[in-house]
Amino acid sequence: MSAARLAERAAPGTPTPDTVVHLRDVTKTYGDVRALRGVSLDVTARELVAVVGPSGSGKSTMLNTVGTLDRPTSGSVRIAGHDVGSMRDDDLSRLRAEHIGFVFQHFHLQAGATAAENVADGLLYAGVARRARLERAKDALERVGLGHRVGHRPTELSGGEKQRVAIARAIVGDPTILLADEPTGALDSASGQRILTLLRELNDSGTTVLVITHDLALAASLPRQVRMRDGAVEEDSSTSDAGVLADAIAGVAR
């Protein structure tokens, strides 16, 4: 298939009311480095998507763009129906607080704070009173199976438990979109599998989940795979022949 024909098939259309992520011809340049090169992508509500690619492929830059942490150099970005390009910084902060949850590979937990306090920090910019933040934090920890660890500090938790605290912090505000950047990369295989199961459960409950990963086996296990290379979307299983990309990724993983 020609590159032009593949681009035609892969190009997203007009966003619908169910479209929660809409990128069109997005570029991002840092000096002489072109991190994103004309990325177009649509993600609809309740999808579970793996964004896969080698180091330097642009997948983390795309996550930061979807998460409104970075503004694109050019192109358009709509998140949860909002045109990011027309929003001021304080409006973007509100958008993140209301619609976006972040999970990072290395947890980013405060060492001196309890699990509940770390999770409550996810509501700092949502205008929620401290007591209510802590109550909601405890509920979120229950949801990820850590109700018995609310008073424990990170040094008293395993790697898998720390990642579950990080996920609880990301979902405490009931985000529309959960962005997980290498969520199993710092974990052993058993802990990583439990985190993947948890992400599936969150998706089943209605959260749209994007998992950024270089783990080909993990990517192949998810319903949709977006493969990036050199700052561009090389292939998207939603526009490819059914199962071809997943099978290709699974074959490389083996």
* pLDDT tens-digit readout, 42-64: 999 999 999 999 999 999 999 99
Domains of the chain: 3-253 (3.40.50.300)
Nearest by Cα to 125 from 164, 167, 89, 83: 89
pLDDT over 70 (residue 208): yes
Percentage, residues of the chain above pLDDT 70: 89
Interhelix angle 189-204/159-171, rounded to 10 degrees, is 20
DSSP SS3 for 160? helix
Q: Give the SS3 label for residue 210.
A: strand
- pLDDT tens by residue, 143-182: 999 999 999 999 999 999 999 999 999 999 999 999 999 9
CA 96, CA 67: separation in Å to the nearest integer? 7
pTM of the model: 0.86
| CA–CA dist 146, 45 (Å, integer) | 27
Burial class (CB in 10 A: 0-12, 13-18, 19+), 46: middle
DSSP class per residue in 45-92: TT-EEEEE--TTSSHHHHHHHHTTSS--SEEEEEETTEEGGG--HHHH
pLDDT exceeds cutoff 70 at 94: yes
Which residues touch 174 (CB under 8 Å, ≥6 apart)? none
